[in-house]
Chains A and B, each alone.
Chain A
Amino acid sequence: MENNLTLFDKVWESHVVKRVSGGPDILFIDRHLVHEVTSPVAFQGMKERNIKVLFPDRTFATADHNTPTINQHLPVKDPMSANQLKTLEKNTKEHDVSYWGLGHEKNGIVHVIGPENGITLPGATIVCGDSHTSTHGAFGAIAFGIGTSEVEMVLSTQCVMQMKPKKMRINIDGSLKKGVTPKDVALFIISNLSTSGATGYFVEYSGDVFSNMSMEGRMTVCNLSIEMGARGGMIAPDKKTYEFLKEKEFTPKGDKWEKAMEYWSTLYSDESAIFDKEYMFNAENIEPMITYGTNPGMGIGLSKKIPKSAPGGENSHAKSLNYMGFNDGESMVGKKIDFVFLGSCTNGRAEDFRAFAKVVKGYQKSKNVTALLVPGSHFVAKEIRKNGVAKTIEEAGFEIREPGCSACLAMNDDKVPAGKYAISTSNRNFEGRQGPGSRTLLASPIMVAAAAITGKITDPRKYID
């Protein structure tokens, strides 16, 4: 048995059905997540080929990208969105695939509900027609986003054809300072590597910082792997992983759990594992982060000033700052905010709402701010209702909406108007991402909370113990 394998190698190799010479590997996919936006053309293609979903039990469908976050009990108003939802319902029915549509108790953002229901498992291969599928790597799964042609491939054959990516390890030892969250860790890494620094690689995160991180925090970090170009990121499973998953609906039970545990206990990178690239950072050097530009690599620590150029975007830096209405040399602290967004597959879990509540407790929402607070799933919505977090947030003058992707990509009505500034817990600050002409600043739930009560970029550390 070789003893120089990475965690990624172990999971990948155990899923290779066949190697095509001079070409990709044929990778077996354990679990396939499907949503309304990237699946209709795939189902259409299958209809034209006259084929059915090969393994309906390995396929899970939900509606999240293109759904309203108020009045979900009423018919969807936008006819195109309504049609897209109806199409998924019809397609899943025709192919015997489970569908957790709008209003279903298990409905929510695809990358939030996967782990919640134990669909996500260590050592599994998971794909979805969505780039933030990397989220599931937090459990030691190989999880990555695919295009619609590949969605059709997986629906019809449960396999994708992929060239095996190179391997990167990012190690961070030490302990994080007060007010530094998993989101800050991820934005810090991306600002160092640039938005394309990990393209062609699959990343493993290791070191004290990730071992000490909650499962929710690990999901935030792995979620953002794609923002530095990596197909996915993963963290070796440990006790926390198993605790989180045990007794969830779709996790193996009884003997099957024991057998799975046997496999899972082998899932770590060997001591002499070979990586194509390694980075080491020190936890003490990370401070609360905020982005100032139009890609997630354009981020700085709160104490820093907007730089003259950013790695990987030398020729587009000025265009980007011009779009944002900022100048180099400026500090981000004190900049006026019009919108706040708490939610998304990056930071839409109960822990994120808890963090937000901690900051706004005893304060009131700034009058100049429009707030969109969107839980990642019905399960999250219920949990924060049960433990009083929702009440704290509402007492501070905020409204909590119904679950979905919402203003992260602004396919529904949750849009930021042109020229307005939104501080957002989501994952992309691209031009127009949150609505045509919108300007997005990415940050952690606590920094978003501090901005929500002050109406400007504010150091969140003074609001937490």
Chain B
Amino acid sequence: MAYEPFTILKSSGVPLPIENVDTDQIIPARFLKATERKGFGDNLFRDWRYNQDNTVIKDFVLNNPAYKGKILVSGKNFGSGSSREHAAWSIYDYGFRCVISSFFADIFKNNCLNIGVLPVKVEPAFLKDLFEIIYENPSTKIMVDLPSQLVSVEENNLAASFEISSYKKNNLLNGFDDIDYLLNIKNEINDFAKKTLF
């Protein structure tokens, strides 16, 4: 599915300083019954955002009007658990384009990269500083510069580089996906298939 290319994002951040945020929290299983990819943002962090009677849980960060933006900043091991791409879809659909954390779960990270959400892995100390900066001034702009692989907060002199494979970087910058690439080498795949044992 096509997504908007990612180049440089400058936005305030939404802080979620919790570790091991699993995909069941990001999007609970009961919302996986859809057959189309739409509307998942409404149920992002559903059970942390709303009580069971659908009333708003005021102290959850997404319900706090002070915190807005396209960057989610979360504690380490974000996205652990299931392979549901719905978790990445709900983050994208809600309006986030980037998640910053000190550690990401594997499948979740791949899913993000495949749909145009940039996972940015930073050192724990950098993450701690970032949380402090956001809490001090929620409107602080964070810059995520994919071409130079740099995440920074200019007014606080905070900056760090982040890693991404050159292949995935190129995909994100252009809005390409892996299927385009694979379809182009279909002959090689067909030849390979003939030699397989089973």
Contact = CB atoms under 8 A, between A and B. Distances in A.
Contacts of A165: 106
Nearest to B37: A41
B103 interface: yes
Interface stretch (B57-65, B132-140, B145-153, B187-195): B187-195
B30 to A, nearest CB: 6
B125 interface: no
B184 to A, nearest CB: 10
Nearest to A37: B32
A157 B84 contact: no
A195 B21 CA distance: 11
B11 interface: no
Interface string B26-57: 00111011111100000000010000100000
A117 to B, nearest CB: 13
Given A315-B19, A316-B18, A437 B111 contact: no
A145 to B, nearest CB: 4
Contacts of B28: 432, 436
A411 B29 contact: yes
A428 interface: yes
A349 interface: no
A30 B103 CA distance: 31
Contacts of B110: 146-147, 150, 162
Contacts of A314: 19
Given A431-B24, A431-B25, A30 B196 contact: yes
A54 B186 CA distance: 10
Given A45-B1, A131-B81, A260-B198, A147 B165 contact: no
Contacts of A319: 18
Interface in A213-261: 229, 231, 252, 256, 259-260
Interface string A407-430: 001110000001000000000101
Interface in B64-92: 75-77, 80-86, 88
Interface string B1-14: 10000000000000
Contacts of A66: 32-33
A161 B176 CA distance: 14
Interface string B165-198: 1111000000001110111011011001100111
A199 B77 contact: yes
A16 to B, nearest CB: 9
B157 to A, nearest CB: 26
A158 B110 CA distance: 18
A165 B107 CA distance: 12
Nearest to B75: A315
B83 A146 contact: yes
A83 B28 CA distance: 19
Interface string B102-145: 01111100110011000000000000000000000000000000
A30 B193 CA distance: 9
Contacts of B85: 38, 41, 129, 147-149
Given A314-B19, A316-B20, A147 B37 contact: no
Interface string A138-152: 000000011111101
B93 interface: no
Contacts, number: 213
A37 B34 CA distance: 8
Interface stretch (A2-10, A19-27, A203-211, A368-376): A19-27
Nearest to A42: B85
A171 interface: no
Contact of A431 (B47, B103, B182, B192): B47
A313 B20 contact: yes
Nearest to A161: B178
B19 A316 contact: yes
Nearest to B108: A147
Contact of A146 (B20, B76, B107, B185): B107
A103 interface: no
B45 to A, nearest CB: 11
A200 interface: yes
Contacts of B186: 54, 157
A18 B106 CA distance: 22
A316 B35 contact: no
Contact of B20 (A28, A65, A81, A195): A195
Contact of A28 (B18, B111, B196): B196
A153 interface: yes
Contacts of A359: none
Given A38-B84, A411-B30, 16 more contacts: A17-B189, A21-B166, A21-B167, A28-B196, A44-B36, A81-B33, A123-B197, A131-B81, A157-B182, A157-B183, A158-B189, A158-B193, A196-B76, A231-B107, A313-B19, A431-B47
22 contacts: A17-B188, A45-B179, A81-B33, A131-B82, A153-B179, A195-B77, A196-B103, A199-B77, A295-B20, A295-B80, A313-B20, A315-B18, A315-B19, A316-B19, A409-B24, A409-B82, A410-B29, A430-B25, A433-B24, A433-B29, A436-B30, A437-B47
Interface of A: 17-18, 20-24, 26, 28, 30-31, 37-38, 40-41, 44-45, 49, 51, 54-55, 65-66, 78, 80-81, 83-84, 87, 121, 123-124, 129-131, 133, 145-150, 152-153, 156-163, 165, 195-196, 199-200, 229, 231, 252, 256, 259-260, 263, 295, 312-316, 319, 409-411, 418, 428, 430-433, 436-437
Interface of B: 1, 17-20, 22, 24-25, 28-30, 32-37, 47, 52, 75-77, 80-86, 88, 103-107, 110-111, 114-115, 165-168, 177-179, 181-183, 185-186, 188-189, 192-193, 196-198
